[in-house]
Amino acid sequence: MISKKRIAIKFVVVVVLCWLFVSGDARVRCIESEREALLSFKNSLIDTDGILSSWRNDKCCKWYGVECSNTTGHVIALQLDAYDRELTRPRHLRGKISPSLLELHHLNHLDLSHNDFGGIPIPEFIGSMKQLQHLYLSWSNFSGSIPPRLGNLINLRSLDLSANDFGGIPIPEFVGSMKQLQHLDLSWSNFSGSIPPQLGNLTNLRSLDLNDNDFETIPLLLGNLTNLCSLVLGGNDFGGIQIPEFIGSMKELQHLFLYSSNFSGIVPPQLGNLTHIRSLDLSFNSLSSISPFILDSVFESLETLVLYYNHFTGSMPDLRGLPSLTELNLMGNNFTGSVPLSIGQLSKLQVLDLSHNSLEGVASESHFSKLDKLKSLDLSFNSLILDIAPNWSPPFQLKIMRLGRCNVGPYFPKWLQTQTNLTYLNLDGANIADEAPWWLGSMFSRLEELSLSDNRISGTIQNLSSTFIWYLDLSYNQFSGPIPLLPPYADAIFLGGNMFSGSVSSICSTRHPDLQYLDLSNNQLAGEVPNCWEKMSELEYLNLANNSFSGKIRGSFGALHNLNILQMHGSGFSGELPYSLRHCQELSLLDVGGNKLTGEIPTWIGRLYQMQFLNFRGNKLHGSVPPKICNLTNIHVLDLSINNLSSIIPDCFNNFTGLASEDAAYAGTITFGANGDIDYEYSSFQWKGKVSEYRKNLGLLKLIDLSSNRLVGNIPKSFSNMSHLRSLNLSRNSLTGHIIPDIGRMEMLDSLDLSHNQLSGKIPTSLAEIHTLGVLDLSNNNLSGQIPTGTQLQSFNASAYADNDGLCGDPLPICPGGSLRPSITNPVENMNEKDGDNFSFMQEVGISMGFGFIFGFWGVVGSFILKKSWRIAFFNLLDAVGDWFYVKMVVFVSKWRRS
């Protein structure tokens, strides 16, 4: 019995082994004709990365990417997606796709994604592979039109043509006849026009991705796709329509992504029917409210709710119906009222972002009571008051915490000490007036981003040279002591507006290869500025203004080849500008005003042809205004006032095309990072509607101030070419000759000061044609004759014309022998008019302050408190400048976030 059983077992074993051998052979060896087809497919490709290096022997079923049928041995799948997340260097197949693939009669799965076929159209023969069920051609550099023969592939279950460039054609209608399709991905492929209604025939579809094309309409028939589990329509422009109600009938939907597609209006109540929804992203649209029906619905499975940057108003949605929520992002809306207490019950929440809304009231410990999974908390830019006991022991361990502009103070939140995993901390403007706690130091070792600006935090900062901080903003606090050893990997360091004192030579002790923004302004720093700037060669923004340095501007500044902005106003520098500075060819703003610089204005200044804002005001420069300065054709603000310049003014100011056009400063100089992230940043900025605002306001900053020098000769004729100049100040020089007759061509002029010169002759009649003129001073010259008539010139106070040889006529006494003409305008009345709210900022203050408001605006704020119209104009302007910095910051922040 036993031996019979053994024999039986042996027999079975042998049979099994034989079967394994035979079938194994079929699985490995593959069919000869198919092997040859594969080889000729390989031979027409260019495979420099060796992706197909295993395609050599006769065991073609074992070749990379080849799959054969277990039973028949036919090749059934070819999976040559080149993407490999392990590899840092991308690899690709290139060359031609051979029609020999047609020999693979049983191929049902073809994947050529992430290769590079050099912009050829999708080969037509693929349309003859009727047996295909899965076709993946994404990210493979196909372009041109799609061959109609592809419409034969009626057995397709998956079709992915995403991330190619089909040149703006519509989706071919034949896609609608691929009735078996379950997955259709046409995202990122430059399709446009209408989404064909034929897609509504694809009732088996489980996922449809039409993301990031230029589609304009959504056909009603898409509502037939009731089996959809995932629908992505983001990144199109549907022209401000409402979200289609029929989406609510797609009962199976789990993922709905409708971001950045220009939807507006109410989120329709029908979406409340999507009871299986897990992620919903409606961000970056113009949606204004959510149907109350939705707010009352229960979404048991909703995990991700992303509504940021819409126009939602009213109170925050109630969160009781969302027990599974892990991410809630309501940033950048206009939600008002208080934060509902129900938020504290969302025990699965990991990400909570309510920033940039109009929320108010108190956020207390109960708002966080069950949030033990929370990792990221952002409540910044609301009017929230954080009312939390110092000894609170939070249920969470945050990695990201941003409470900027919330009322957190007056004490530094002690409970932060429990957050031992914190990496990003922002408490900007959080109303903290306290000493920095001792344990902040131990936090530094983990932080990558620390922003505490605009508080009244005091104390000293320890050595940061062994931290990993990328972004450090301690500006506008009361920190004192020496500036710390800087974090070596930082991209941006803002220490301005504190009481840091002593020498800055410590910044030389380490290299800062990534540093792009450094602000040490408005401190009490002293001593010589060290000569080691080559250690920060990536700097784009350097602000040393308003300190008490001594000595020269050192030669190594010339190593800052990327420097865009150099602010050294009122910093105590003496000596000459270093010759090496001519290498800083990216400079668009150079402010060395209010120092003790000597020597002449260097002729090499003409090489810095990106320059838009140049301020030498209040130094001891002598010699000439070099004609080379006219090479700075982009200049918007040129201030050489209060020096000892003694030449004639070169007659080349017609070169300043930036002053002869409406072009706004900075528009062309925002450096958006190297690798094409320009568009993204630019459009996201435009999206916030701020680009135009900023352009308009910065356009105001067009001025030339050469006052308080010893300039001689005539006012050059070329001045009249600066037709968009807002302010011209040539006062307190020794200019002679006539006022240029066509001065009226500077038709945008707000302020003109030619006083305290030796100008002679008549006031040109064209001056009366400058209707924008609000400030005029021609006093203390040798002008004579009748003041040209026109309401504009008569509206100024007589002092505008005082101390001239022989000026007469309104508002001065009538000319001898002139007709008795009644005064048309009453000067007093006009003065009153000027006090009206609509009187422009530039007219009254902006111009006369010259650079004051641009470069020293912190100091002048006080003088604005009295007058509302000034204040508004001023802060609009500040906003504009702020916006520009904001752009820089967004660009920069996103840059390092990406990296």
Ligand X SMILES: *[C@@H]1O[C@H](CO)[C@@H](O)[C@H](O)[C@H]1NC(C)=O
Nearer to ligand X, 221 or 266 (CB): 221
Residue 622 beta carbon to ligand X: minimum distance, rounded to whole angstroms: 21
Among candidate residues 850, 851, 846, the one with its CA nearest the CA of residue 877: 846
Nearer to ligand X, 6 or 251 (CB): 251
CA 886 to chain centre: 8
Residue 764 beta carbon to ligand X: minimum distance, rounded to whole angstroms: 25
| Residue 382 binds ligand X, judged by CB under 6 A | no
Which position has the token pair 């001898």?
816
What is the C-alpha R_g of the chain? 36
| DSSP element (H, E) containing 214 | strand 214-217
Tokens (6 digits) for 483: 């500036």
| Residue 334 binds ligand X, judged by CB under 6 A | yes
Residue 610 beta carbon to ligand X: minimum distance, rounded to whole angstroms: 9
Tokens (6 digits) for 585: 């060819």
Nearer to ligand X, 313 or 366 (CB): 313
| Residue 266 binds ligand X, judged by CB under 6 A | no
| Residue 248 binds ligand X, judged by CB under 6 A | yes
| Residue 791 binds ligand X, judged by CB under 6 A | no
Distance in angstroms (rounded) separating the CA atoms of residues 526 and 524: 6
Residues in 814-833 that interact with ligand X by CB under 6 A: none
**Part of the chain binding ligand X (CB under 6 A), chosen from 193-201, 719-727, 855-863, 873-881:** 193-201
User: What phi and psi values does residue 473 have, to the nearest 5 degrees?
Assistant: -130, 105
Nearer to ligand X, 293 or 839 (CB): 293
| Residue 361 binds ligand X, judged by CB under 6 A | no
Which one among 39, 169, 221, 526 touches ligand X, defined by CB under 6 A? 221
| Residue 224 binds ligand X, judged by CB under 6 A | yes
| Residue 313 binds ligand X, judged by CB under 6 A | yes
| Residue 718 binds ligand X, judged by CB under 6 A | no
Contacts of 607 (CB under 8 A, 6+ apart): 582, 585, 631
Nearer to ligand X, 146 or 178 (CB): 178
Helix (H, G, I), strand (E, B) or coil at 601: coil
CA 594 to chain centre: 33
Residue 701 beta carbon to ligand X: minimum distance, rounded to whole angstroms: 21
| Residue 133 binds ligand X, judged by CB under 6 A | no
Nearer to ligand X, 446 or 552 (CB): 446
| Residue 441 binds ligand X, judged by CB under 6 A | no
| Residue 321 binds ligand X, judged by CB under 6 A | no
Binding mask 585-624 for ligand X (x = CB under 6 A): ---------------------xx-x---------------
| Residue 285 binds ligand X, judged by CB under 6 A | no
Q: Are 712 and 648 in contact (CB under 8 A)?
A: yes
Give whole-number Cα distances, 652 to 408, 607, 637, 638, 705, in Å. 56, 16, 16, 14, 16
Q: Are 540 and 895 in contact (CB under 8 A)?
A: no
Which one among 495, 630, 660, 711 touches ligand X, defined by CB under 6 A? 630
CA 642 to chain centre: 38
Nearer to ligand X, 455 or 634 (CB): 634
Task: Write b or e for each residue in 633-650: b if 16 or more Cβ atoms lie within 10 A of its Cβ, otherwise e.
Answer: ebbbbbbbbbbebebebb
Which one among 43, 79, 192, 198 touches ligand X, defined by CB under 6 A? 198
Residue 588's CB: how many other CB atoms inside 10 A? 24
Which one among 254, 477, 546, 655 touches ligand X, defined by CB under 6 A? 655
Tokens (6 digits) for 89: 């260097």
| Residue 421 binds ligand X, judged by CB under 6 A | yes
Distance in angstroms (rounded) separating the CA atoms of residues 117 and 143: 9
Residue 582 beta carbon to ligand X: minimum distance, rounded to whole angstroms: 8
| Residue 288 binds ligand X, judged by CB under 6 A | no
Residue 148 beta carbon to ligand X: minimum distance, rounded to whole angstroms: 16
How does DSSP classify residue 768? G
| Residue 627 binds ligand X, judged by CB under 6 A | yes
The alpha carbon torsion through 557, 562, 565, 566 (nearest 10 deg) reads: 0
Nearer to ligand X, 67 or 434 (CB): 67
Residue 431 beta carbon to ligand X: minimum distance, rounded to whole angstroms: 22
Q: Please list the residues that pair with 609 across neighbouring strands.
A: none
| Residue 774 binds ligand X, judged by CB under 6 A | no
Which one among 155, 633, 760, 789 touches ligand X, defined by CB under 6 A? 633
Distance in angstroms (rounded) separating the CA atoms of residues 161 and 107: 18
Distance in angstroms (rounded) separating the CA atoms of residues 268 and 245: 6
Task: Tell how many helices (H) and how many strands (E) occur in the chain.
Answer: 13, 53
Binding mask 395-414 for ligand X (x = CB under 6 A): --x-----------------
| Residue 468 binds ligand X, judged by CB under 6 A | no
| Residue 293 binds ligand X, judged by CB under 6 A | yes
| Amino acid letter, 193 | G
User: What phi and psi values does residue 43 have, to the nearest 5 degrees?
Assistant: -65, -25
| Residue 269 binds ligand X, judged by CB under 6 A | yes
Q: Please list the residues that pair with 777 across neighbouring strands.
A: 753
Task: Write b or e for each residue in 441-460: b if 16 or more Cβ atoms lie within 10 A of its Cβ, otherwise e.
Answer: eebbebbbbbbbbbbebebe
| Residue 72 binds ligand X, judged by CB under 6 A | no
Q: Are 427 and 450 in contact (CB under 8 A)?
A: no
Among candidate residues 214, 215, 262, the one with its CA nearest the CA of residue 242: 262
| Residue 315 binds ligand X, judged by CB under 6 A | no
| Residue 242 binds ligand X, judged by CB under 6 A | no
Q: Are 441 and 464 in contact (CB under 8 A)?
A: no
**Part of the chain binding ligand X (CB under 6 A), chosen from 143-151, 159-167, 197-205, 551-559:** 197-205
Contacts of 32 (CB under 8 A, 6+ apart): none
| Residue 276 binds ligand X, judged by CB under 6 A | no
Nearer to ligand X, 123 or 394 (CB): 394
Q: Are 344 and 321 in contact (CB under 8 A)?
A: no
Distance in angstroms (rounded) separating the CA atoms of residues 240 and 23: 60
Binding mask 160-179 for ligand X (x = CB under 6 A): ----------------xx--
Residue 174 beta carbon to ligand X: minimum distance, rounded to whole angstroms: 10
Nearer to ligand X, 203 or 242 (CB): 203
Number of residues binding to ligand X, judged by CB under 6 A: 33
Among candidate residues 116, 102, 108, 109, the one with its CA nearest the CA of residue 45: 116
| Residue 273 binds ligand X, judged by CB under 6 A | yes
Nearer to ligand X, 615 or 631 (CB): 631
Residues in touch with ligand X (CB under 6 A) = 70, 176-177, 197-198, 200-201, 203, 221, 223-224, 248, 269-270, 272-273, 293, 313, 334, 336, 358, 397, 421, 606-607, 609, 627-628, 630-631, 633, 652, 655
